[in-house]
Amino acid sequence: TLLAQSTSSGQPISAENQTLMTSMIEVSDNDDATTLWNAVGGPSSINSFNRDIGMTQTTPSTCLSCPGFDWPGWGLTMTTAADQITLLRNIVLPSAAIGNAQRQEAIALMENVSTSENWGVTGGVPSGVTVALKNGWVPLSSSLWQVNSIGWIDGDGRNYLLAVLTDGNPTEDYGIATIEALSNLVWTTIGS
């Protein structure tokens, strides 16, 4: 939404919002993500952007402090893997909604996630291949985790988008291992 707003206004993203966006993407800083959630106009603006680019199966959470949920409420946003691929297409490929400079900025951040966040759709992908990714995870209870990973993998004769959303994981590590096993399978199968 921030990238689209910058595109439509013709104004660059402010230095403050660039700093927030960097920490949100590269190290998954929840406080900075919440600040940006509010800065772009919250769920109504995000929902409008989603509809504009064809994300018809995503519903942003309407609460930031949700009863019975210890994490930022935007983590309760409902989405599908298909919608996450739609989002990635609008970042990776030329888009009417997101300008080239804004897309390149987002890709650069996604290619530079911290080492501790470099998991998920990177599973099985050899070094030297470019991976632009964003991961997400949330404990819904002590033994029920949602773990997700989306990204663009490009190199070694392959160029594809991958979105894996998991639910019902007994631990975060279990969800990560599941996604990495699927990523490895995709990498290997596409190369066959």
154 burial type by CB count under 10 A (0-12 exposed, 13-18 middle, 19+ buried)? middle
Residue 130 scores a pLDDT above 90: yes
DSSP code, position 93: S
pLDDT digits (tens, 9 = 90+) for 33-65: 999 999 999 999 999 999 999 999 999 999 999
Q: How confident is the model at residue 157 (pLDDT cuts 50, 70, 90)?
A: very high
Q: Tell which residue, 177, 185, 2, has the closest CA to residue 87.
A: 2
Percentage with pLDDT > 70 across the chain: 99
At 142, the pLDDT band (50, 70, 90 cuts) reads confident
What is the percent of the chain with per-residue pLDDT over 90, rounded to a whole number? Answer: 96
User: Is the confidence at residue 69, as pLDDT, over 80?
Assistant: yes
Full-model pTM: 0.96
8 Å CB contact between 40 and 2: yes
What is the C-alpha separation between 39 and 120, in angstroms, rounded? 29
